């Protein structure tokens, strides 16, 4: 797990409902038509080139330098020292260190292929096979880390049994992720070192994924898939091919290596994707070496997955299979000087967005923040809430901050005048045309990858920590110019997240002032009650936007462990009630995916993962996403409960929200709020009460229009299932008494802590 900075939207996190009549509307997806495939051709590949993968080869009893082998070493200047396997306690199974008495210090290598260090150099080293002498060696792969320096070095020592300097530097990258593709002519005994150092947080390991091949025999062209890997509709058929003539293809669908797995099978016909499929394939042709193994993952497009997302996740898999992520596309990184484009930085963004797409993840790029060279240094003025703010010329700059005078006036009277420090990156640009050029660069880079939504800035509001200007300045210099560029290039504009610390009425008034409603494709807010989504939806409709799209691209970042279970069913039911087949009209993106599993760390117990483990919020999201799986989702409101519950957007109220999935499953999400410290729920309609923490309280639920019921289960927040007995009470109607208290003590304690009882009913039809 790599560290991802918790940067966006944290200046105001939690500072700050309207229900619509239930209707039955659906989001559904239809499978693609089947495709044709060419018949297989018999072939006998040549022996594999001297090639290996560090993750697969890691579990070795000894760490030695030998031809065709990997070794693990500490590096100091031109001197290397082999790491030793062993240790005690938690380090005994898979830890390597320079000193077995201190396995937890300085360096480590783990069984999954990840490596870590503090600031010193650690190397995963491949010794080139002797038979590759004089041949071309192809080195390719990627490396991720918490942030530091990554280098590929070459040692010309002529000795297959040792590694020695001096080293030739082949590749260097400073940052958090790198991809490389290198060619060199090998000499006997050459060693290729993959070095990580200068890492800021060594307890969070980096990971290398590399392959090394030599041209002893031509390599079969890798397998490609049509359509390409990523999110597809259920029933889509996938064709595999290699551009090498007469190549045979072998594949697996369980994620195992097709070159060695017992589940591998020859490709003879298109493959139907009816579930999430970790497809891997290898090609071979007579006389050629086998291709590299192609990783071709497919996930099913589903309404809830498209509705739910996260911030700053991994490119290869989000919590609960969600399909949307969000990350900055940093102006200063891609254009460090005016007109000077950093092609390596652009390539890294392309790699990350492409990798995410291949795993069914769509990334929402945030267009921000001002490049250092472009920031206003001469001074500017804006009015805000009855006061005038006058920023003078910059007098000094250091560590990403300007020093300049700020004079605050009200009705012409000076209230204060003093030197202040402001963020360079959050300062308005001196020339809005520079900003427009950057937006165009972002579109030109990412649109070919299928990115169609672009978020404009993040939480632009005085005092937010993300904007050092006024709101008029934001609209005229940032928002409106970006909208023009985005729409001129056929992509969509997402408003930059209205901050929860500012009244929603200001948002409406700002858009009214600039007549901006029609130019916004997605109205976005952060950390707002979900009832405000209906407020903005109605305001947009009133102003002529026929089918508004409303997102919250940051929501959560809370210690409330039942937040997802409380909020998401309400919002998803509301979204489905609006109808239509556009899965992108409504979204909640949880902030953030990850924080360290350390009580002293920023973000601890507020994210979906704590370290390498799911947090309670991550577990509840996984449960909910599993229940709401399906290519078709619609509201299900043909039920009744005693006490009476109904869909409610107001998070302070008890609620029941029903969903029908794929015309064969019904899920009810029940949320009972306790009205006082005695754990009493009061039925607002009858006045009757239920003690939610005494005896064996139950509630009655009647399902209608549900023929051929196969099973009915109570599902708790962590996915524990309890079968229920139901009875028929009429044609296609069943009734069930549902226990309210959770049998599982952990989940029971979770519900007790937050003074509400949340659980689900899952009904399966034949």
How confident is the model over 281-328, as pLDDT tens digits? 999 998 888 888 999 999 999 999 999 999 999 999 999 999 999 999
Retrieve residue 482's tokens.
């970006």
pLDDT-derived band at 437, boundaries 50, 70, 90? very high
**Edge-to-edge strand ranges of the sheet holding 609-610:** 594-595, 609-610, 613-614
**Predicted local confidence at residue 47, as pLDDT:** 67
The residues near 428 (Cβ < 8 Å, ≥ 6 apart) are: 370, 375, 376, 380, 467, 468, 469, 473, 474, 477, 478
How confident is the model over 575-609, as pLDDT tens digits? 999 988 888 999 999 999 999 888 988 999 999 99
How confident is the model over 162-184, as pLDDT tens digits? 898 889 999 988 877 788 888 88
- 20 pLDDT higher than 90: no
**Predicted local confidence at residue 313, as pLDDT:** 92
- Across the range 556-563, mean pLDDT stands at 96
DSSP secondary-structure letter at 131?
G
- 519 pLDDT higher than 90: yes
How confident is the model over 694-724, as pLDDT tens digits? 889 999 999 999 989 999 999 999 999 999 9
Residue 323 burial class via C-beta count within 10 angstroms: exposed 0-12, middle 13-18, buried 19 and up: buried
**Predicted local confidence at residue 100, as pLDDT:** 64
Name which of 186-200, 244-258, 385-399, 574-588 the model is least confident about.
186-200
- 452 pLDDT higher than 70: yes
- Other CB atoms within a 10 A radius of the CB of residue 483 amount to 22
Of 556, 375, 360, 523, residue with least CA distance to 455? 523
Instruction: Please state the three-class secondary structure of 615-634 as a single string.
Output: CHHHHHHHHHHHHCCCCCEE
- 52 pLDDT higher than 70: no
The residues near 607 (Cβ < 8 Å, ≥ 6 apart) are: 557, 592, 593, 594, 595, 615, 617, 618
pLDDT-derived band at 335, boundaries 50, 70, 90? very high
Residue 123 burial class via C-beta count within 10 angstroms: exposed 0-12, middle 13-18, buried 19 and up: buried
Q: How far is CA 592 from CA 5, 567, 605, 615, in A?
A: 9, 16, 11, 12
- On the question of a cis peptide bond just before residue 125, with omega within 30 degrees of 0, the verdict is no
**Predicted local confidence at residue 88, as pLDDT:** 53
Residue 704 burial class via C-beta count within 10 angstroms: exposed 0-12, middle 13-18, buried 19 and up: middle
**Predicted local confidence at residue 48, as pLDDT:** 61
Percent of the chain with pLDDT over 90: 64
Averaging pLDDT over each range in 82-86, 199-203, 299-303, which range is the top one? Answer: 299-303
DSSP secondary-structure letter at 261?
-
pLDDT-derived band at 469, boundaries 50, 70, 90? very high
- 22 pLDDT higher than 50: no
**Predicted local confidence at residue 438, as pLDDT:** 98
| Strand spans (E) along 452-585 | 453-456, 492-494, 523-526, 550-556
* Secondary structure element (H or E) that encloses residue 639, with its range: strand 639-642
Separation between Cα atoms, residue 118 and residue 74, nearest integer Å: 12
DSSP secondary-structure letter at 39?
P
- Across the range 639-661, mean pLDDT stands at 96
Residue 78 burial class via C-beta count within 10 angstroms: exposed 0-12, middle 13-18, buried 19 and up: exposed
Per the listing, tokens 């060594």 go with 202
- On the question of a cis peptide bond just before residue 643, with omega within 30 degrees of 0, the verdict is yes
- Across the range 144-157, mean pLDDT stands at 84
Residues 766 and 708: beta-carbon distance below 8 Å: yes
Mean pLDDT of the chain: 87
How confident is the model over 345-378, as pLDDT tens digits? 898 899 999 999 999 999 999 999 999 999 999 9
Residues 658 and 648: beta-carbon distance below 8 Å: no
Of 319, 366, 315, residue with least CA distance to 176? 315
Q: How far is CA 447 from CA 354, 443, 486, 562, 592, in A?
A: 11, 5, 10, 37, 25
Name which of 108-112, 445-449, 512-516, 733-737 the model is least confident about.
108-112
Q: In 370-422, where does DSSP find H-type helix?
A: none
**Predicted local confidence at residue 7, as pLDDT:** 38
Name which of 23-37, 154-168, 222-236, 287-301 the model is least confident about.
23-37
- 81 pLDDT higher than 50: yes
pLDDT-derived band at 731, boundaries 50, 70, 90? very high
pLDDT-derived band at 137, boundaries 50, 70, 90? confident
Separation between Cα atoms, residue 109 and residue 70, nearest integer Å: 12
**Predicted local confidence at residue 211, as pLDDT:** 77
Separation between Cα atoms, residue 541 and residue 361, nearest integer Å: 30
pLDDT-derived band at 62, boundaries 50, 70, 90? confident
Percent of the chain with pLDDT over 70: 88
pLDDT-derived band at 6, boundaries 50, 70, 90? very low
Separation between Cα atoms, residue 621 and residue 566, nearest integer Å: 10
- 400 pLDDT higher than 70: yes
Retrieve residue 34's tokens.
């089947």
- 39 pLDDT higher than 80: no
Retrieve residue 352's tokens.
């990350």
Retrieve residue 205's tokens.
């390991």
Separation between Cα atoms, residue 32 and residue 235, nearest integer Å: 7
pLDDT-derived band at 50, boundaries 50, 70, 90? low
**Predicted local confidence at residue 698, as pLDDT:** 95
Separation between Cα atoms, residue 120 and residue 63, nearest integer Å: 20
- Across the range 500-523, mean pLDDT stands at 97
Q: How far is CA 431 from CA 233, 345, 436, 477, in A?
A: 45, 23, 9, 8
Retrieve residue 370's tokens.
């001002």
- 693 pLDDT higher than 70: yes
Averaging pLDDT over each range in 6-15, 55-64, 77-86, 752-761, which range is the top one? Answer: 752-761
Q: Is the pTM of this model over 0.75?
A: yes
Residues 157 and 189: beta-carbon distance below 8 Å: yes
């Amino acid at each position: 797990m790599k560290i991802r900075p918790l940067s966006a939207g944290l200046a105001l996190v939690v500072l700050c409902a309207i229900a619509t009549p239930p209707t039955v509307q659906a989001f559904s997806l239809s499978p693609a038509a089947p495709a044709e495939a060419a018949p297989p051709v018999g072939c006998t590949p040549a022996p594999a080139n001297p090639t290996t993968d560090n993750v697969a080869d890691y579990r070795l009893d000894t760490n030695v330098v030998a031809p065709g082998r990997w070794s693990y070493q500490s590096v100091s200047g031109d001197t290397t020292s082999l790491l030793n396997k062993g240790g005690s306690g938690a380090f005994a199974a898979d830890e390597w260190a320079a000193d077995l008495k201190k396995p937890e210090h300085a360096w480590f290598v783990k069984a999954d292929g990840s490596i870590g260090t503090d600031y010193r150099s650690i190397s995963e080293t491949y010794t080139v096979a002797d038979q590759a002498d004089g041949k071309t060696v192809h080195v390719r792969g990627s490396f991720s880390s918490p942030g530091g320096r990554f280098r590929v070095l070459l040692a010309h020592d002529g000795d297959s049994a040792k590694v020695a300097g001096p080293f030739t530097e082949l590749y260097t990258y400073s940052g958090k992720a790198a991809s490389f593709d290198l060619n060199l002519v090998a000499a006997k005994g050459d060693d290729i070192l993959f070095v990580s150092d200068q890492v800021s947080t060594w307890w969070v390991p980096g990971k290398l994924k590399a392959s090394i091949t030599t041209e002893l025999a031509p390599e079969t062209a890798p397998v490609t898939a049509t359509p390409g890997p990523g999110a597809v509709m259920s029933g889509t058929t996938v064709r595999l091919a290699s551009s090498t003539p007469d190549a045979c293809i072998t594949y697996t669908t369980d994620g195992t290596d097709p070159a060695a797995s017992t589940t591998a099978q020859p490709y003879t016909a298109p493959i139907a994707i009816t579930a999430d499929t970790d497809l891997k394939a290898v090609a071979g042709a007579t006389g050629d070496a086998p291709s590299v193994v192609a990783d071709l993952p497919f996930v099913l497009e589903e309404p809830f997955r498209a509705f739910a997302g996260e911030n700053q996740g991994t490119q290869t898999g989000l919590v609960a299979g969600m399909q949307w992520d969000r990350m900055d596309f940093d102006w200063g990184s891609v254009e460090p000087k005016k007109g000077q484009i950093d092609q390596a930085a652009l390539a890294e963004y392309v790699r990350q967005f492409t990798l995410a797409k291949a795993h069914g993840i769509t990334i929402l790029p945030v267009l921000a923040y001002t490049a250092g060279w472009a920031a206003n240094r001469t001074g500017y003025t804006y009015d805000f809430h009855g006061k005038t703010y006058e920023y003078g010329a910059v007098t000094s700059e250091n560590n990403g901050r300007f020093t300049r005078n700020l004079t605050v006036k009200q009705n012409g009277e000076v209230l204060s005048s003093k030197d202040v420090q402001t963020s360079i990156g959050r300062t308005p640009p001196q020339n809005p045309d520079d900003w427009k050029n950057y937006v165009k660069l972002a579109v030109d880079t990412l649109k070919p990858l299928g990115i169609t939504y672009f978020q404009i800035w993040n939480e632009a509001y005085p005092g937010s920590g993300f904007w050092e200007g006024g709101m008029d300045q934001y609209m005229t210099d940032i928002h409106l110019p970006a909208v023009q560029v985005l729409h001129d290039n056929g992509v969509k504009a997402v408003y930059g997240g209205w901050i929860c610390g500012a009244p929603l009425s200001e948002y409406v008034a700002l858009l009214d002032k600039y007549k901006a409603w029609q130019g916004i494709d997605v109205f976005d807010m952060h950390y707002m009650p979900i009832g405000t989504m209906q407020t903005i939806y109605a305001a947009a409709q009133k102003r002529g936007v026929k089918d508004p799209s409303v997102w919250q691209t940051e929501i959560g970042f809370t210690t409330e462990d039942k937040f997802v279970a409380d909020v998401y069913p309400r919002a998803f039911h509301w979204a489905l009630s609006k109808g239509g087949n556009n899965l992108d009209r409504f979204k909640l993106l949880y902030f953030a995916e990850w924080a360290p599993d350390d009580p002293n760390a920023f973000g601890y117990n507020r994210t979906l993962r704590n370290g390498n483990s799911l947090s309670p919020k991550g577990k509840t999201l996984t449960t909910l996403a599993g229940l709401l799986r399906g290519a078709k989702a619609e509201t299900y409101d043909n039920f009744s409960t005693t006490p009476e519950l109904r869909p409610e957007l107001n998070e302070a109220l008890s609620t029941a929200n029903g969903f029908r999935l794929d015309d064969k499953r019904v899920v009810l999400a029940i949320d009972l709020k306790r009205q006082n410290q005695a754990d009493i729920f009061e039925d607002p309609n009858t006045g009757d009460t239920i003690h939610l923490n005494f005896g064996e309280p139950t509630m009655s639920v009647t399902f209608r229009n549900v023929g051929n019921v196969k099973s009915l289960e109570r599902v708790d927040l962590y996915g524990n299932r309890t079968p229920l007995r139901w009875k028929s009470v009429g044609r296609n109607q069943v009734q069930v008494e549902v226990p309210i208290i959770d049998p599982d003590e952990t989940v029971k304690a979770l519900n007790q802590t937050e003074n509400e009882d949340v659980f689900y009913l899952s009904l399966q039809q034949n």
